[in-house]
Structure 1
Amino acid sequence: MTAHKAAHATLAVLTALSVASCTSLPGDGSPQVLRSYQPALPSEDNASPVDGREPDLLLRDFFAACGRPTGGHQVARSYLTTRAAESWNDAAGTTVVDRIDINAQAGGTDDKITYVIRGGVIGALGTGGTFTPKPGETEAIIELVKVDGQWRIDSLPQGVLLERTELQNNFSPQNLFFFDSTGRFLVRDRRWVYTRQPQLDTALISLLMEGPKGLLAPGVETAVPPGATLVGYDGAYKFSGFGNLSPEARHKFAAQVIWTLAKGGITGPYRIELDGAPIDPNVPDLDVEDVAEFNPSAASTAVAPLYALSNGSLVKAEGDSLVPEGNGLGSSGKLQSAAVSVSGELSAGVLVDGADEAQRSTLLVGPPSGGLTDVLQARTLTSPSFEYDAIALWTVSDGRAIVRIARSTTTGEMTQQAVQVPFLDEDEHRDLNIDELKLSPAGVRAAMIIDGNVYVGTVSRPGPGERRMDNVVQVAPAIGASAVSIDWMHDGSIIVGTSEADTPVWRVEPDGSGATPLPSGNITAPVTAVATSSTTLFITDARAALQLPINSNSSAFWREVPSLVGTRATPIVGS
């Protein structure tokens, strides 16, 4: 028995209430978890208001306590009067702000004071720990009164207001794994999970059993059948309701559980029982090797060749040499953008003739050495973005129409398909233009630059052969309208190049919960191109093509790409 399993066997019985309150903010699941009995540990320390605390400081203490959701925010309620504690509905929604500004209104007395609370909204934390970006501003009125000589909050708005620092201090981002709509790839679903709980594994599995939620839900599927439940843990993770599931679906469910636990830092082997029997009677204890075909990090370990767009032609970096692509894209001289599939079996480029209103853009696609097919023409076309395995590629025609170019696997014939984008049909968005679009590695998400701002959408399949972009939201408002280039990193985050001299490159979290400037000491804005491999970030700034190892520290300097020294080329990595 592993140390992890031995520790499990001595943990306390958890009630449905305690698990539900700890799982997420807010959380409504209530799985029954079986554990060997020991006296239950308190879910929170004995935090309470400090006697004699000044009203503004007590109010800040209250907002810090809002980061502890257990018991219906029992710690935060201790800062309220009895009347306010009974009427405050903490389940009315959790708004996350960058910081909370507190200003007293005039007219306060020795026994009563009113504050105006303001903050820049980042987003909302929802059921199951989902995060939804919602840039904006919030303002509220909060009244404090003295009760037995101590200041207490007597009036406040419904719901929870949470500073980003308290979100980061009390919750950790964890990944659940669901399947893309083809059932071939596991896709990360980022959730915020409360850290002060004794069993992370059951919290993660409970969330997994609840299924996809939030913005990602339309684009993913789960192997969990309707009505299936987590029974508990007593040396094995026990589930019920799987009786009619096929062996293939059982294996896929095992992949979801195992990779969710493994990426959460919970080591195997894992014993999983469905309706009282192991998933595989011959192998009762499973590990990541048993579901290796669904490894969500497999792409991040592959070494992708580096290409570049240099002097209007597509070239491949081989050592210190640049070899032109042999299908005509390597000698075009008129390419504005290009892309190469992750397998290298197809390349695509946008050839541009003319300028201004007379400009004409043509999308060409073909194998590395062979004929090119003219598949689409428009005044403007964004850089092509391949789906995995080069089954299809996407581009944006004339800033508004997203077009999917599908390739027949039998004949190789290319067909066009319009992607539905309800977001662009809304009145307030009818004048917006898409400057850039990049599909995520599994093709479930799309990152877009729209009028210089960064947006993310979820790709769904409303019918056979159809595609739609759902849940389009703006992320990383801190970047402003300065975004110029965009790409996906292998961990699901997004890299953005901008026109800002002080912050030319950003890393954006996949759920939009945060954005971080990357090292910029020797970059000259604008950053007109970005690309990522499993180990390296590539950019093109105003002078040259540069590279930086992933996970470099904040003081690192970008180096010129060795094979592109002396040329202002655009790096391209297979996607």
Structure 2
Amino acid sequence: MAGPTRARSAALVLGLAAAALAGCVAIPTSGPIATGSPAPVDESPPIPLAALPQQDDTPEGIVAGFFSAARAGVFDDFDVAREFLTRNADAAWDPRERLLVAASDPELSMDGDMVVAVVDLAGSVDSEGVFQEAAPGSEVTLSFGMQRNHANQWRIADLQNGIVIRDSAFDASFSPVPVYFATPDWQIAVPEVRWLPDQSALRRAVLALFDGPAPWLADGVANAAPPLGAPVEVADPGADGVVTIDLPAEAFQESWADEQRGHLQAQLEATLFTGRLRGAVSSVGLTVASSNGPVPLPVQPDEVPTLLTDPQPRSGPYAVVDGVIADVSGELAEPVADLPAVTDLAAPNHPAVSADGTLWVLLDGTRRLVLLPAGGAEPETLLEGADLLPPSVDRFGWVWTGEKDSAGLLTAVLPDGTTVPVNAPLLADRQLRSMRVSRDGARIAIASVDADGRSTIHVASIVRAADEAGEPRALGDGALTVGASLTDVTELAWSTEQALAVLGTAAGSEQRAVYLATVGGRTTLQQVVAEGTVGLAAARGNDGIYVVDTDGVLRLLRGSSWVETTSGVVDPVFPG
């Protein structure tokens, strides 16, 4: 399991001030400053140079030059790109509304006095940095109204907001940065990947935290950052690595308790001291503006929760082997102690286990969910259905399943038989293939097929009751589509907190393979699998990807090769 996001010996400078603000409450003036763990920072790529419009250039040449200048505009605030526009178009154009990532150079053609650009779309990024991978064959058509200026030179007079960047240029200028929110019980940090320009990634990551999670995630996480009516000022780190975050005066509220300040500190630590920003920041100071200048805001270390990042199972994978549940992580299958044999079940398959190893279930055929009690007691029926989805166990001890032929509902059940319906309207009229609750318990990934046979992976937030039992109520409004480049999905599993391992096929290939689908990012090929591969288990990133074939042969991905580990295996799975 991953460690906490903070060292208990240090704390970020946070808190709230008041005496200098509204003239009411005393301002604490002491408190420790946390230091991050410095690490090497990747060298930034060279900044592209933008060229001004060429004299007597054609309309197509002006649009092509605009595309090139817009790429450099990420670094120069689009000053040169605006030279390709008329004055009115310049005033109306918002380059940051969306970013289209092109898989190839746009095809340009003339239609009267208009230039038409056809973009082979690889993905798009909205104004908040949320990336959406494009489905295979996606195209966007853009129109540019052209007009001659007073010097008889062509300029763009009408265009849509946003910019177009080639995928190679996008990779050189933008990075995926996890912005961390938290589970509602403040136990685990929950990442939301934002694609941010390299030269302003730190500042924009902080602003993203204060702006809050994207709508698809908002219902399932907590965010301690207060809503602000004025901009947050973020000073880039100097040579000493110190970052100062200055909040507007109206951010202060006496009701903003020490606990909430500590929660915000934990989120900032997770965001700034881990992931792509790690090493750029040595410490952070939070201040509030006042009539006497910025006022430091300390916080007590005991108010800061220890948020875990990327919790991973310490054991597994497990599988059905010769009528028992066994640990198949080694060359020999080791039966799990104190569990009953499943030889009397008609067709035991798809086991699932809680992270702490105290709750075990499996399917018997496709119609019965069975509990395997500790101590060797006989298996017990937990739930019956028509055609049940392989189960997943969340960190609260709820076992998730549902009918494969979905009516927009999932089912969660406790070991004592307590059953609750989970409203999931986005799944209505879809055939469900695979489902896994994330190890933080705040998200769920579901692979399904629509009536036309199109595969989709949805990642949605989980709405739970506000109690320690964590009873699931519904999936959050909306969902993020992940792995859009995949055309068929057999099974998925959470590889890390930010990525799914997926067994399936991609556009342009009929050969099945394991892919890594980043939640809020791209899908990449891990390795092609042998014919007859039917199942997948994944955890611990690239160190824990297993596949199994119809003959029960289990293979582990080591480097770029599959290595056979054991045989006789049915439906391997990691806890969760």
Deviation at 1:47, TM superposition (A): 2.0
Counterparts of 1:161-240 in structure 2 under 5 Å?
161-197=164-200, 200-227=201-228, 230=232, 236-239=244-247, 240=251
The residue type equivalent to 2:539 in the other structure is T
Q: Is residue 444–residue 462 contact of structure 2 (8 Å, CA) maintained in 1?
A: no
Deviation at 1:196, TM superposition (A): 2.7
Deviation at 1:63, TM superposition (A): 2.3
Aligned partner of 2:326 among 303, 315, 322: 315
Aligned to 1:335: 348
Please give the alpha-carbon distance, in whole angstroms, between the structure 2 residues aligned to 1:202 and 1:530: 37
* Partner secondary structure for residue 467 of structure 1: strand
Aligned to 1:374: 381
Please give the alpha-carbon distance, in whole angstroms, between the structure 2 residues aligned to 1:386 and 1:528: 18
Aligned partner of 1:49 among 47, 52, 56: 52
Q: Cα distance 1:333–1:378, how it changes in 2: closer, same or farther (>3 A)? A: closer
* Partner secondary structure for residue 273 of structure 2: helix
Range that drifts further, 210-219 or 128-137 = 128-137
* Partner secondary structure for residue 364 of structure 1: strand
Q: Cα distance 1:259–1:473, how it changes in 2: closer, same or farther (>3 A)? A: closer
Please give the alpha-carbon distance, in whole angstroms, between the structure 2 residues aligned to 1:453 and 1:204: 32
Please give the alpha-carbon distance, in whole angstroms, between the structure 2 residues aligned to 1:209 and 1:242: 16
Q: What do residues 1-36 of structure 1 show as CA deviations (whole Å, max 9, x unaligned)? A: xxxxxxxxxxxxxxxxxxxxxxxxxxxxxxxxxxxx
Please give the alpha-carbon distance, in whole angstroms, between the structure 1 residues aligned to 2:268 and 2:511: 43
* Partner secondary structure for residue 177 of structure 1: strand
When normalised by structure 2's length, the TM-score is 0.75
Q: Cα distance 1:257–1:380, how it changes in 2: closer, same or farther (>3 A)? A: same
Please give the alpha-carbon distance, in whole angstroms, between the structure 2 residues aligned to 1:80 and 1:236: 37
- In the TM superposition, structure 1's runs of 4+ consecutive aligned residues that sit over 6 Å from their partners are none
Range that drifts further, 252-261 or 264-273 = 264-273
The yes-or-no answer on 1:435 pairing with 2:448 is no
Aligned to 1:545: 554
The yes-or-no answer on 1:346 pairing with 2:366 is no
Deviation at 1:142, TM superposition (A): 2.9
The residue type equivalent to 2:494 in the other structure is W
* Partner secondary structure for residue 339 of structure 2: coil
Deviation at 1:188, TM superposition (A): 0.3
Deviation at 1:192, TM superposition (A): 1.5
Aligned partner of 1:250 among 250, 258, 261: 261
Q: Which has the higher contact order (CA 8 A, sep 6+)?
A: 2
Q: Cα distance 1:214–1:119, how it changes in 2: closer, same or farther (>3 A)? A: farther
* Partner secondary structure for residue 547 of structure 2: strand
Q: Is residue 490–residue 503 contact of structure 2 (8 Å, CA) maintained in 1?
A: yes
Aligned to 2:401: 395
Please give the alpha-carbon distance, in whole angstroms, between the structure 2 residues aligned to 1:364 and 1:381: 12
Range that drifts further, 170-179 or 213-222 = 213-222
Please give the alpha-carbon distance, in whole angstroms, between the structure 2 residues aligned to 1:99 and 1:277: 49
* Partner secondary structure for residue 388 of structure 2: coil
Root-mean-square deviation over aligned CA pairs: 3.4
Q: Cα distance 1:168–1:341, how it changes in 2: closer, same or farther (>3 A)? A: same
Please give the alpha-carbon distance, in whole angstroms, between the structure 2 residues aligned to 1:271 and 1:117: 45
Higher share of residues assigned helix: 1
Q: Give the total of aligned pairs.
A: 490
Deviation at 1:523, TM superposition (A): 2.8
Please give the alpha-carbon distance, in whole angstroms, between the structure 1 residues aligned to 2:439 and 2:66: 42
* Partner secondary structure for residue 434 of structure 2: strand
Deviation at 1:308, TM superposition (A): 1.7
Deviation at 1:417, TM superposition (A): 1.1
Deviation at 1:99, TM superposition (A): 3.7
Deviation at 1:149, TM superposition (A): 6.9
Deviation at 1:541, TM superposition (A): 3.9
Please give the alpha-carbon distance, in whole angstroms, between the structure 2 residues aligned to 1:523 and 1:138: 36
Aligned to 2:79: 74
Deviation at 1:150, TM superposition (A): 5.3
The residue type equivalent to 2:561 in the other structure is F
Deviation at 1:445, TM superposition (A): 1.8
Please give the alpha-carbon distance, in whole angstroms, between the structure 1 residues aligned to 2:495 and 2:479: 19
Please give the alpha-carbon distance, in whole angstroms, between the structure 2 residues aligned to 1:405 and 1:431: 20
